[in-house]
Amino acid sequence: MSTLERIASHLERGEHDEVRTLTEAALGETLSAPDILEQGLIAGMQVVGEQFRNHEIFLPDVLMAAKAMNAGLEVLEPHLGTTAVPTQGTVVIGTVKGDLHDIGKNLVGIMLSGAGFEVIDLGKDVSPERFVDAAAESGANVIGMSALLTTTMPAMKSVVDLVRERGLGARTVIGGAPVTKEYADEIGADGYSFDAANAVECIRELTQRS
Amino acid sequence: MHWHGDIHIDCATPTETDVLRALGVPVDHEPDARTRDLVREGIAELRRLAKPRGIFSSVTTEEFADIYRGEGDNNEPSPLADVFPKADELALFAATIGSTVTERVSELFNAGEYALGGALDAAASEAAELVAGNVARTVLAKARHAGRASEATRVLNYSPGYCGWSLTGQGALFAALEPCRIGVTLTDSFLMEPVKSVSGVAVVGPAGIHDFKDDYAFCGACRTHECRDRIAGLRGATPRGDSYEHA
């Protein structure tokens, strides 16, 4: 088994110490940082995403794998600074204005990073203007919005409307406990996801289409 | 009847099974040792940081009818609209585990400690529900003590945002109860701060008054239908933590 395969394998099992050590070893073997990222860390995280989607593993396993990915990234980051790393796309995410729940949104961010997307996490209680400004500045492909309250869901429509008004190319995806596919259709969002794994699929599909 | 105060951390401590379920691990799945250790660590962190508190205040049926009406956004019909007029006792309540736990969850996520952050968040959500259950049982115990409830009487909580009671109902509930006395406030979007808080009405009466089918128009959008377990639980054995202990 190659070092990259071993990184992926340990990441799948959420073994962060091993991932860190092997990532250092891979750099020592003069493997390039982008290759280690793509063929080691992201490859492992993609398997984790698939297993989670198929209910073969559960949230604690995903979170342990994410921690392992983070351990590898910490080693890689100084070596990625000047290298152009290909990404699947850029996604601006946040919890909408008035809503302070961010665990679901955090999980989406973790899964998106693991799948090779560049994630700009605006945090919680994010105004429509901040979503749209961040997407415009970063040239984001997708804006992902989360809400846990029925009272804050209308803020999602404000973002969708503002994207249109400003003529941005970014697609909009919404999710969260009270959000439904029907609501996404009603407000004109481009996508709806019912959980974090599904969000990755939905966003991947949208970025490949655009 | 009115009460507010601290609640012992033992009454706000979920079991490992509770936390695993909250993390989406199916009950028939045997977690590995690392997952169990993670959940234990989350619970230990919760016990270190949580400050469980509760408040309740009895209201008459007429008073509650006004509060329930709120801003007129409720679904009609709804289970609670049928249930509360049959109650022996109604008490507005709020329960919280404080803000420190949520702050710690954010810290952990920001530090890349996703697994422990997730376990602590799940434990905290369960803890807030346990505190709410404890407050409700205190309402029931005091009603029994005052001779307004028998040993066969049960209590069940209903909260704005669920079962047809609009989340905007939080406004009237908070105005009447004043949960700020235990540090719980409401934002413009009717969100409670600290986030790990629960509010609603504790409905005391015979178990049978809560018998409703989950076939209301809004039940189709509900993902858990956990009302089934809660109602069934009223007829079962005494729930865990029935004794109420305040710190």
Express each pLDDT in B33-52 by its tens digit: 999 999 999 999 999 999 99
Q: Predicted confidence band at B243 (pLDDT cuts at 50, 70, 90)?
A: very low
Q: Which two tokens stand for residue A195?
A: 């959980």
Chain A residue numbers with beta carbons less than 8 Å from the beta carbon of B190 are 149, 151
Averaged in consecutive runs of 10 residues, what is the pLDDT profile of chain A (210 residues)? 96 97 95 92 93 93 94 90 73 93 88 91 94 97 92 93 96 92 95 90 88
Q: Which two tokens stand for residue B98?
A: 């404080």
pLDDT(B11) > 50: yes
Tens digits of per-residue pLDDT, B161-204? 888 999 999 999 999 999 999 999 999 888 899 999 999 999 99
| Cβ-nearest to B114 among A63, A149, A180 | A63
Residues A141 and B114: their CA atoms lie apart, in Å, by 26
Q: Is the dihedral of CA B55, B96, B49, B187 positive or negative?
A: negative
Is A3 in contact with A25 (CB distance < 8 Å)? yes
B225 reaches A (C-beta below 8 A): no
Q: Which two tokens stand for residue B154?
A: 């049960």
B35 reaches A (C-beta below 8 A): yes
Chain A residue numbers with beta carbons less than 8 Å from the beta carbon of B112 are 66-67, 70-71, 74
Residues B217 and B78: their CA atoms lie apart, in Å, by 9
Asked whether residue B247 is domain-assigned, the answer is no
Is A210 in contact with A180 (CB distance < 8 Å)? no
State residue B56's pLDDT score: 98
Asked whether residue B242 is domain-assigned, the answer is no
Asked whether residue B246 is domain-assigned, the answer is no
Cβ under 8 Å to B: A residues 17-46: none
Residues A156 and A81: their CA atoms lie apart, in Å, by 34
pLDDT(B237) > 90: no
Rounded to two decimals, the pTM is 0.89
State residue A102's pLDDT score: 83
Q: How many helices (H) and strands (E) does chain B have?
A: 8, 7
β-partners of residue B156 are B203
Residue of chain B minimizing CA distance to A100 = B195
Please give the order of strands across the beta sheet that includes A142-146. A118-121, A90-95, A142-146, A171-175, A191-193
Q: What is the ipTM of this complex?
A: 0.85
Tens digits of per-residue pLDDT, B91-125? 999 999 999 999 999 999 989 899 999 999 999 99
- Pairwise CB contact (< 8 Å): B221 & A178: yes
**Where do we find the tokens 């999602």?**
A156
Residues A92 and B216: their CA atoms lie apart, in Å, by 37
| Cβ-nearest to B115 among A63, A99, A103 | A63
- Pairwise CB contact (< 8 Å): A60 & B167: no
**What CATH number has the domain bearing residue B60?**
3.40.109.40
Asked whether residue B244 is domain-assigned, the answer is no
How is A149-183 classified by DSSP, letter by letter?
-GGGTHHHHHHHHHHHHHT---EEEEESTT--HHH
Residues A180 and B11: their CA atoms lie apart, in Å, by 35
Asked whether residue B243 is domain-assigned, the answer is no
How many alpha carbons fall within 13 Å on the CB side of residue B104? Answer: 25
What domains can you pick out in chain A, each with its CATH number? 3-80 (1.10.1240.10), 90-209 (3.40.50.280)
B97 is in which domain, residue-wise? Answer: 2-235
Report the number of distinct structural domains present in chain B: 1
Asked whether residue B36 is domain-assigned, the answer is yes
Q: Predicted confidence band at B247 (pLDDT cuts at 50, 70, 90)?
A: very low
> Quick one: which of B109, B116, B108, B136 has its CA closest to B11?
B136
| Cβ-nearest to B191 among A58, A64, A149 | A149
State residue B245's pLDDT score: 41
Chain A residue numbers with beta carbons less than 8 Å from the beta carbon of B103 are none
